[in-house]
Chains A and B, each alone.
Chain A
Amino acid sequence: MTWIHVYLLAVGAVVTAGLSVVSITVGLAIGILVCAASLSRAAPLRWAARVYVSFFRGVPLLVLLLLIYHLLPQIGIDVPGVVAALVGLTLCTSAYQAETLRGGFVNIAPGLVEAGRMIGLNATQLLVRIRAPIALRLTLPALVNEGIMILKASSLVSVVGVGDITRTAQNLSSSTYRPIEMFATAGVFYLLLNVIVTRGGNGLGRLLGLPRT
Chain B
Amino acid sequence: MSGDVAITLRNVVKRYGDHEVLRGIDLDVRHGEVTCLIGPSGSGKSTLLRCVAFLEEHDAGIIRIGGAPLGFDERPDGSRIRLPITEIARVRRNIGMVFQQFNLWPHMTALGNVAEGLRQVLRLHKREAHDRAMAHLTRVGLAERASYYPSQLSGGQQQRVAIARALAMDPKIMLFDEPTSSLDPELTGEVLNVMRDLAAEGMTMLVVTHEIGFAAHVAQHVVFLDQAQIALEGRASDVFRKPWHPRMAQFLETYLDRGASVLLGN
| Chain A interface (Cβ < 8 Å from any Cβ of B) | 109, 111-112, 114-122, 125, 129-130, 133-134, 137, 208-209, 211
**In the complex, chain B residues whose CB is within 8 Å of the CB of A134:** 105-107
B101-A109 in contact (CB<8A): yes
A129-B120 in contact (CB<8A): yes
Interface status of B97 (Cβ within 8 A of chain A): yes
A118-B166 in contact (CB<8A): yes
Nearest-neighbor residue (CB-CB) of B54 within chain A: A117
A120-B93 in contact (CB<8A): yes
Which 5 interchain pairs have the tightest Cβ spacing?
A: A119-B117, A111-B103, A115-B103, A120-B121, A118-B97
Name which of B93, B96, B116 has the most chain A CB atoms within 10 A of its CB. B116
Chain A interface main SS type: helix
Q: List 12 A-B contacts (CB under 8 A).
A: A112-B106, A115-B99, A115-B104, A115-B165, A117-B55, A118-B97, A120-B121, A120-B169, A121-B120, A122-B89, A129-B120, A208-B107
A118's partner among B92, B107, B151 (CB-CB below 8 A) is: B92
A120-B92 in contact (CB<8A): yes
B99's partner among A114, A125, A133, A209 (CB-CB below 8 A) is: A114
Nearest-neighbor residue (CB-CB) of A115 within chain B: B103
B95-A119 in contact (CB<8A): no
Interface status of B109 (Cβ within 8 A of chain A): yes
A121-B107 in contact (CB<8A): no
Taken together as a complex, chains A and B put the C-alpha atoms of A109 and B99 apart, in Å, by 13
Interface status of B12 (Cβ within 8 A of chain A): no
A114-B103 in contact (CB<8A): yes
Known: A120-B93, A122-B89. 10 other contacts (CB 8 A): A115-B99, A115-B162, A116-B105, A118-B97, A119-B165, A120-B169, A209-B108, A209-B109, A211-B149, A211-B152
A120's partner among B103, B107, B117, B162 (CB-CB below 8 A) is: B117
**In the complex, chain A residues whose CB is within 8 Å of the CB of B93:** 120
A121-B105 in contact (CB<8A): no
Interface status of B53 (Cβ within 8 A of chain A): yes
A119-B169 in contact (CB<8A): yes
Chain B nearest Cβ from A112, distance in angstroms: 5
Taken together as a complex, chains A and B put the C-alpha atoms of A167 and B165 apart, in Å, by 56
B96's partner among A112, A118, A122, A130 (CB-CB below 8 A) is: A118
**In the complex, chain A residues whose CB is within 8 Å of the CB of B149:** 209, 211
Taken together as a complex, chains A and B put the C-alpha atoms of A60 and B101 apart, in Å, by 44
**In the complex, chain A residues whose CB is within 8 Å of the CB of B151:** 209, 211
Taken together as a complex, chains A and B put the C-alpha atoms of A116 and B116 apart, in Å, by 9
Nearest-neighbor residue (CB-CB) of A122 within chain B: B89
Nearest-neighbor residue (CB-CB) of B114 within chain A: A119
**In the complex, chain B residues whose CB is within 8 Å of the CB of A137:** 106-107
Name which of A116, A117, A120, A208 has the most chain B CB atoms within 10 A of its CB. A120
Chain B nearest Cβ from A115, distance in angstroms: 4
Nearest-neighbor residue (CB-CB) of A121 within chain B: B120
**In the complex, chain B residues whose CB is within 8 Å of the CB of A129:** 116, 120
Chain A nearest Cβ from B124, distance in angstroms: 13
**In the complex, chain A residues whose CB is within 8 Å of the CB of B92:** 117-118, 120
B55-A114 in contact (CB<8A): yes
Known: A119-B169, A137-B106. Is A111-B101 also a contact (CB below 8 A)? Answer: yes
- B73-102 vs A, Cβ < 8 Å mask (1 yes, 0 no): 000000000000000010011011101010
Taken together as a complex, chains A and B put the C-alpha atoms of A115 and B177 apart, in Å, by 12
Taken together as a complex, chains A and B put the C-alpha atoms of A134 and B96 apart, in Å, by 22
**In the complex, chain A residues whose CB is within 8 Å of the CB of B97:** 114-115, 118
Taken together as a complex, chains A and B put the C-alpha atoms of A137 and B105 apart, in Å, by 11
Taken together as a complex, chains A and B put the C-alpha atoms of A122 and B121 apart, in Å, by 8
Known: A118-B53, A118-B92, A119-B116. Is A111-B99 also a contact (CB below 8 A)? Answer: yes
A209-B103 in contact (CB<8A): no
- B149-168 vs A, Cβ < 8 Å mask (1 yes, 0 no): 11110000000001001100
Chain A nearest Cβ from B19, distance in angstroms: 20
Chain B nearest Cβ from A211, distance in angstroms: 6
B103-A112 in contact (CB<8A): yes
**In the complex, chain A residues whose CB is within 8 Å of the CB of B116:** 119, 121, 129
